Structure 1
């Protein structure tokens, strides 16, 4: 492995140039602590003393847009910051989150007090943020495309985290003189890559040391679990999703979910597809590729006891799938479990759940947290 030492404005950067390394492999000096981006492909960081330059790009390479931000230490001079970088004074004191994935980072960092606005409380079970909403410390700013500009202006956050490639309807808030910061963790194609965005959030908050420690624990456990399935010969195939308005939503074979199944010692039924994002296909396409899948993953919101009878009543054709016949449907009810608000930064827990289902002899003592076989 080759290393290059770069001296710039008195800051030493140690950059690993191993072509086999996941992510950027970039290490930056942070008050004496080494801060490394190892798996995430969506953000790169360079340290320049009193400010950091952050380049954010699409991890899935579906877009070539680069979003540029300069995190400036509060009260410091702006001298030296390139003109095409949006300046954000850090650490930030208040943030609006547009998605539960973004919110998951603040939950993990125990920094929900910095979240002054969110778009929706659907599927949100976190007690602290719900209490903040009740107390008026956090406010709902409306739904996508119908944001309440007056509420946003009254909150006057330091920044708003957005998902630029989604239909977020940001035009109503784009001209409020509040930085819109692109958060592309949801575009990462690996579980550890997505989880590593906690480091990006930590840089905004000035909590880098805590995030580094937390991610090390996530990474260590994930790699330990991944190693359990390394030599598995018989890998089950997994179908995922459901019909919605006549179409089936799936993600491609280069996606986060496909990688998660692979690490759990299973094969995703569309593993040969080269897409990393999601798309809709018809029932016939899914049936032709997934009818004989050993397992079937379903995540939805159901008010009551979700079971095989409910699944049959939803669409009688479901009973034709092997996973239905053999009672191997993997299920998570969003009404009962904090899936979207926790799992982005708990990939090791999700992985353990799946390994317990696919290969129970490997993790016999594990208690399921999110996924379990449908009763």
Structure 2
């Protein structure tokens, strides 16, 4: 009799638990989190999609002409053990926020500084190229190690540093050092900020860095300020009464490379309200021309920008005596973005300008439209001496 009563009691308890369990499921059904894509307005080389518990980044243009896309899954550390992702669907699965990383391009530095995560950088190839004062201090303190060159990274030092991520850049995917690093279990993430061909497109790559540090809101705010500053400068340039004629580039081994009409520099010159001589061309990079071809079209140009790496008129004339035939040379209207350098010779323009296109545009307006920014001090461009 006692056994029957115990059996009935256990059945009753089990039934009650079953009812309660079913009731709980009905009241709280599983929540399906829809994927949400971050808004990218100008950059064309990457996308960011939030999939509830992790973030997916796809790089569609890691280098010019790249036909391969790279996908990366960014998973919060506390969820890494409980989230199951198909590893063959991603080129790397990265635990975030990143605490130790190697970067490979000076263009990465301004975004990391702006986001306040510079302390995460532990290695860089060819540190002499870095001009940032804050980053140079960390190099001098031994907190950022020298890694050789990007084409031949010292993988032994990288493995000793044990970074959680190597942010790479390349002209293709055949970097043997990256293969060694990946085989050691260290994720390599390609960054294609340098491939973008519009000023605001390059600057928007700060939104690429942000998810690795869970700093998306900060990145949005920083970029919005840059965009606002750029657009205000662009509107200001429209007040100019004249559109000066502009020449770019200089000779390199008997070939004069001017900026193509669809290039980053050509967009700056359009937004600065100028008449750029090669604006109607379709090239996104440089166009190689003979000295004679440039003289024919640009001899009477009002301004000459970026004359190779020369910083004085004497250097220019020594490089090629025919340079003095240009009106911009005779009228002392030649300006360079390669004069301002860091403590070890790194060019400030190529490091900071991609992230601060608003400052580049204001530099150009102050030079090409004297009077529109009368008290402005140039950040990148300097007149030749």
TM-score calculated relative to the size of structure 2: 0.82
Shift of 1:60: 8.9
Partner Cα separation in structure 1 for residue 110 and residue 147 of structure 2 = 18
Aligned partner (choices 304, 326, 330) of residue 325 of structure 1: 330
Aligned partner (choices 43, 46, 52) of residue 43 of structure 1: 46
Aligned partner (choices 363, 366, 370) of residue 376 of structure 2: 366
Single out whichever of 101-110 and 87-96 deviates more from structure 2: 101-110
The residue aligned with 1:314 is 319
Aligned partner (choices 339, 358, 361) of residue 351 of structure 1: 361
Shift of 1:104: 2.3
The residue aligned with 1:170 is 175
Rg (Cα) greater in structure: 2
Aligned partner (choices 17, 33, 37) of residue 10 of structure 1: 33
The residue aligned with 1:19 is none
Label 1:126 to 1:299 Cα distance change in 2 as closer, same or farther (>3 A): farther
Shift of 1:291: 2.4
Instruction: Count the aligned residue pairs.
Output: 344
TM-score calculated relative to the size of structure 1: 0.84
The question of whether the paired residues in 2 share the 8 Å contact of 1:291 and 1:321 is answered with yes
Instruction: Establish whether residue 65 from structure 1 lines up as the match of residue 68 from structure 2.
Output: yes
- State the Cα deviation string for residues 11-39 of structure 1 (Å, max 9, x = none): 474xxxxxxxxxxxxx53xxxxxxx2111
Label 1:173 to 1:43 Cα distance change in 2 as closer, same or farther (>3 A): closer
Shift of 1:290: 2.7
- State the Cα deviation string for residues 257-281 of structure 1 (Å, max 9, x = none): 1101111111333212211123544
The residue aligned with 1:215 is 223
Partner Cα separation in structure 1 for residue 360 and residue 42 of structure 2 = 18
Matches within 5 A, 1:1-375: 9-11=32-34, 13=36, 27-28=37-38, 36-58=39-61, 62-76=65-79, 77-80=82-85, 83-85=88-90, 86-165=92-171, 170-177=175-182, 178-230=186-238, 232=240, 234-278=242-286, 280-298=288-306, 306-332=311-337, 333-335=339-341, 338-375=348-385
Single out whichever of 83-92 and 188-197 deviates more from structure 2: 83-92
CA RMSD of aligned residues (A): 2.4
Shift of 1:307: 2.4
- State the Cα deviation string for residues 70-128 of structure 1 (Å, max 9, x = none): 11111323335573212111111122111111222212223221111111233423222
Shift of 1:158: 1.6
- Deviating above 6 A after TM superposition, structure 1's stretches of 4 or more consecutive aligned residues are none
Label 1:245 to 1:144 Cα distance change in 2 as closer, same or farther (>3 A): farther
- What secondary structure sits across from 1:41 in the alignment? coil
Label 1:240 to 1:112 Cα distance change in 2 as closer, same or farther (>3 A): same
Partner Cα separation in structure 2 for residue 161 and residue 212 of structure 1 = 21
Partner Cα separation in structure 2 for residue 355 and residue 47 of structure 1 = 39
Gaps of at least 5 residues in structure 2 are 1-30
- State the Cα deviation string for residues 192-213 of structure 1 (Å, max 9, x = none): 1100101111111222221111
Gaps of at least 5 residues in structure 1 are 1-7, 14-26, 29-35
The question of whether the paired residues in 1 share the 8 Å contact of 2:35 and 2:49 is answered with no
The question of whether the paired residues in 1 share the 8 Å contact of 2:251 and 2:308 is answered with no
Label 1:299 to 1:197 Cα distance change in 2 as closer, same or farther (>3 A): farther
Larger strand percent: 1
Partner Cα separation in structure 2 for residue 353 and residue 140 of structure 1 = 33
Partner Cα separation in structure 1 for residue 112 and residue 209 of structure 2 = 8
Partner Cα separation in structure 2 for residue 103 and residue 366 of structure 1 = 25
- What secondary structure sits across from 1:344 in the alignment? coil
Partner Cα separation in structure 1 for residue 150 and residue 58 of structure 2 = 26
Single out whichever of 266-275 and 319-328 deviates more from structure 2: 266-275
Label 1:151 to 1:373 Cα distance change in 2 as closer, same or farther (>3 A): same
Label 1:169 to 1:279 Cα distance change in 2 as closer, same or farther (>3 A): farther
The question of whether the paired residues in 2 share the 8 Å contact of 1:297 and 1:331 is answered with yes
